[in-house]
Amino acid sequence: MKYPLFFVIIVFVLSISACAVVKQDMVGVKRKLGKVTSRSLDPGLYSLNPFTTTMLRVPVRTVNMEIRVNLPSKEGLTIASDISILYRVKRQEVPEILKNVGIEYESTVILPVFRSASADVCARFYAKDMHSGERAVIEQKIQERMEELLGDRGFIIESVLMKSIELPNGLSEAIEEKLSAEQDAMRMEFILQREKQEAERKRIEAEGIRDAQKIIADGLTQEIIQMKSIEAMRELIKSNNAKVIITDGKTPYLLNQQD
């Protein structure tokens, strides 16, 4: 009875090893007798000869490759940075990638291309640019350079993200001091501009008052002045309050007239 049981176990193990599962986010390619086939297999269950054939599986989802690298700057400094490379493999190109590059394509192709592209791009920018809005420009240029080198080889570079930047000692403080000085200068420029606008407003207001007074002065005649004096006296007479009227005797007014 031992031999039949042993035989059953052997058959069971071989039947399991003769099956391979390709997951939903992967592409499978069979390697038979050391040669990679040209057919890519969609997710599912496949049978194979465990003695001659193995199943290679390559993810086609977006992969986040995180690395730490030293980047050169235009002034010759070395900047340490943690970078994420978001990439994916073209489904139809998987067999060719396995034939020409191998299953270790990250270390064989993607990483060397990134190091070369990042060094080439960052060497055109100053260290302070990596701490400013230029960081997005640097990321975009590295991505474009990698796509140029890897696009035809079956890889899609979705994004390059510089997550942290470590500047040399003293440089970070110098950059912060410069940015603070620039902000102070911008604030002072704003104050000066505001004062200039206020001075201009007052000048325009004074010119308006002057022009109004000139128009009034040009329109005043002796007759108008006498008429206004009479009107003022009449209003004064109508008041019930005690009053003292002082005049030089020339001002025409009608105090004793009955209304």
Query: pLDDT by residue (tens digit) across 135-180?
Result: 899 999 999 999 999 999 999 999 999 988 887 666 656 666 776 7
Dmax (CA) for the chain in angstroms is 153
Q: Predicted confidence band at 10 (pLDDT cuts at 50, 70, 90)?
A: low
The tokens of 39 are what?
């057919």
Domains recognised in the chain with CATH numbers: 19-58 (no CATH), 63-169 (3.30.479.30), 222-259 (no CATH)
Distance between CA atoms of residues 18 and 102, nearest Å: 23
Query: pLDDT by residue (tens digit) across 188-242?
Result: 888 888 888 888 888 888 888 887 777 777 766 676 667 777 777 777 667 676 6
Q: Under a CB-based contact definition with an 8 Å cutoff, are residues 121 and 145 in contact?
A: yes
- For the whole prediction, is pTM greater than 0.85? no
CB atoms within 10 A of CB 71: 23
